[in-house]
Amino acid sequence: MSLFKKIVDKILNREEENQLTVEKLADQLKDADLDYKFAQLFTLSGGYFNYCQDEAEALKTLQQIVKTEHIDSVFCCDEDLKNFLSVLKTDYTEDLAKENDAALITCEYLIAFDGRIMLSHNNIRHYPSSDLPQKIIIVANVSQIVNSLNDAMMKVKRRGALKNLTSISGSNSKLDGMKHDNNKLFLLLLED
């Protein structure tokens, strides 16, 4: 067996082991609270989870992320989140631009089954998730956590008028089709 083939086999086996780890953890957490299960699987997939009791704590956490990640320009199309950026005196654009270091968005649902986040045109307008900047900061509420993709889709169907549904997860996920290898996905989860 050639050296190249051994290296490729080793890499593929590691990816399979990582996938099994996510599946094993999901199976171990099948009876856990949805918020705990989501947080564990989201973090395991490479996301940065931040629990915030209120908007003041979320603003403080956002300020720290902006400072630590050296974020100068943010894509943000949500009116409430724009207020956060104004308080922090951080530049933002309502349309996605090349100079955006990060995106500050909301989401539709947090899926506990696999730690993924469901987005729609309400959150990212007409832009594909693959065009978003390398750093994505999502603000969500605990009430947005659902057990599975099926539960999320049933809620979407009841609400109607949602289009361009997509999902994203942490940087370790190989399923999202994101254009960058070093994506960072931050979640600020607020208590309702």
pLDDT band at 174 (very low <50, low <70, confident <90, very high): very low
Question: Residue 106 falls within a domain, yes or no?
Answer: yes
pLDDT at 44 over 70: yes
pLDDT at 34 over 80: yes
Work out the number of other CB atoms within 10 angstroms of the CB of residue 9.
Answer: 11
pLDDT at 182 over 60: yes
The answer for residues whose C-beta is within 8 angstroms of residue 134's C-beta and 6 or more apart is 101, 102, 180, 182, 183, 184
| Terminal alpha carbon distance of the chain | 57
Supply the CATH number for residue 68's domain: 3.40.50.10420
Residue span of the structural domain in which 77 resides: 32-190
* pLDDT, tens digit (0-9, with 9 covering 90-100), for 94-121: 999 999 999 999 999 999 998 999 999 9
Question: Residue 82 falls within a domain, yes or no?
Answer: yes
* pLDDT, tens digit (0-9, with 9 covering 90-100), for 118-173: 999 989 998 998 899 999 999 999 999 999 999 999 998 888 767 888 888 876 65
Question: Residue 81 falls within a domain, yes or no?
Answer: yes
The owner of tokens 């399979």 is 16
- Measure the CA–CA gap between 58 and 66, rounded to whole angstroms: 12
Please report, as a single letter, which amino acid is at residue 135. K
pLDDT at 17 over 60: no
Torsion angle (degrees, nearest 10) of CA 149, 153, 156, 157 = -170
Question: Residue 16 falls within a domain, yes or no?
Answer: no
Question: Residue 17 falls within a domain, yes or no?
Answer: no
Question: Residue 128 falls within a domain, yes or no?
Answer: yes
Whether the Cβ atoms of residue 179 and residue 53 lie closer than 8 Å to each other: no
What's the pTM?
0.83
The answer for residues whose C-beta is within 8 angstroms of residue 159's C-beta and 6 or more apart is none
pLDDT at 53 over 90: yes
Count of structural domains, the chain: 1
Work out the number of other CB atoms within 10 angstroms of the CB of residue 8.
Answer: 11
Question: Residue 135 falls within a domain, yes or no?
Answer: yes
Long-range contacts of the stretch 15-18 (C-beta < 8 A, 24+): 15/174, 18/172
pLDDT at 15 over 60: no
Question: Residue 14 falls within a domain, yes or no?
Answer: no
pLDDT band at 56 (very low <50, low <70, confident <90, very high): very high
Angle made by CA atoms 175, 176, 182, in degrees to the nearest 5: 105
Which of the two residues, 93 and 174, has the higher pLDDT score? 93
Please report, as a single letter, which amino acid is at residue 174. K
- Structure confidence at residue 31 (pLDDT): 75
